[in-house]
Structure 1
């Protein structure tokens, strides 16, 4: 059986846009949808952390949100891995962090480099990689997320341009989640169950092709 690591933020965790809403049901989270589509041929380990960035520090939360710093530990704790799917970048756009799609793309590039160069055990396969550009943020009246993301809404539209270029440069798979999913206006960032499932459904054919399933 193949093993896939889904590395992301609250969209991978399954955060609900409803005020005070619980986490999405397990079967609605996009990593679960991908796993179901593979019909027992692979398992998907969901590593989603709210607020996680590609490569930038955010000391406003108790958890370490820097994706570059945490990834090597996860590559070791979940080895051997056949595929790593990375969907990050939304939190990089926060006005008090990096704030640009290009910066997020450079963070994604570093994450892919870490996966490709990690010191795996002798004879262990180097995981394949799929880069995923996240859904765009949308206008919202949310008291916190509006000032956090709205000033960078135009930057989010550049994810596809920069991410696809990096994916070609590094010869890894690429998927644009904005082509199938739209954020919920209740908070402008997170997804309802249908849009969360849509990411998994959209990714499934590429995952199957990548792993030869």
Structure 2
């Protein structure tokens, strides 16, 4: 049995572009669990607004680097860690780009590789570059001002970080895009597409 921890933001949590949260059986981590089989445990630890390393002045507790070691203890031992973060880093008030988001991912990787106080082995890491942001709608328009162009550079910086740190890499923008309803969040089809793309990667890591 393998424990797979999905560490992300609202795209992992299951935020629906029309508002609210998708049902449990519609979110990509839960779809992944179904495809892997009941002998494996897949944990959805997505949190809306979570960043890589940035403290959000408007929402407490969103700094992903500060919670990762606690998550590995709470759910440990974790065999495979899937990290998909960076979309929230591109909010205009952080004033950073794709390169800085990738360095935030790298800081999380370093924390994951730190010795465990419980002697847990470090999990295998899968880095998923978030999809390109489309034209944000509604309240997201100002929040993601300038983020469309920045998001298109995420995959190249993330791939470099994944390679340097011996992580598996998946570029989600090559297989899906956010819903046109809000330009940021997944629809049902995107959740399904991501789970299907991750399934063979995770199965291969389980069998390594």
Instruction: Identify the TM-score tier after normalising by the shorter chain.
Output: over 0.9
Structure 2 CA distance, aligned partners of 1:193 and 1:118? 38
* Cα shift readout 1:156-197 (whole Å, capped 9, x = no counterpart): 011110000111100111111112221112211011111112
Confirm whether residue 90 of structure 1 aligns to residue 90 of structure 2.
no
SS in 2 for 1:125: coil
Residues 79/112 of structure 1: CA separation in 2 closer, same or farther (3 Å cut): same
For residues 170-181 of structure 1, the aligned pairs below 5 Å read 170-181=165-176
Structure 1 CA distance, aligned partners of 2:89 and 2:24? 26
When normalised by structure 2's length, the TM-score is: 0.95
Matched residue pairs, number?
Answer: 208
The match for 1:137 among 133, 137, 143 is: 133
When normalised by structure 1's length, the TM-score is: 0.93
Structure 2 CA distance, aligned partners of 1:35 and 1:84? 14
SS in 1 for 2:57: coil
Residues 2/120 of structure 1: CA separation in 2 closer, same or farther (3 Å cut): farther
Structure 1 residue ranges without an equivalent (≥5): none
C-alpha displacement of 1:120: 4.0
Counterpart residue number, 1:109? 106
Structure 1 CA distance, aligned partners of 2:203 and 2:178? 26
C-alpha displacement of 1:150: 3.7
Counterpart residue number, 1:10? 10
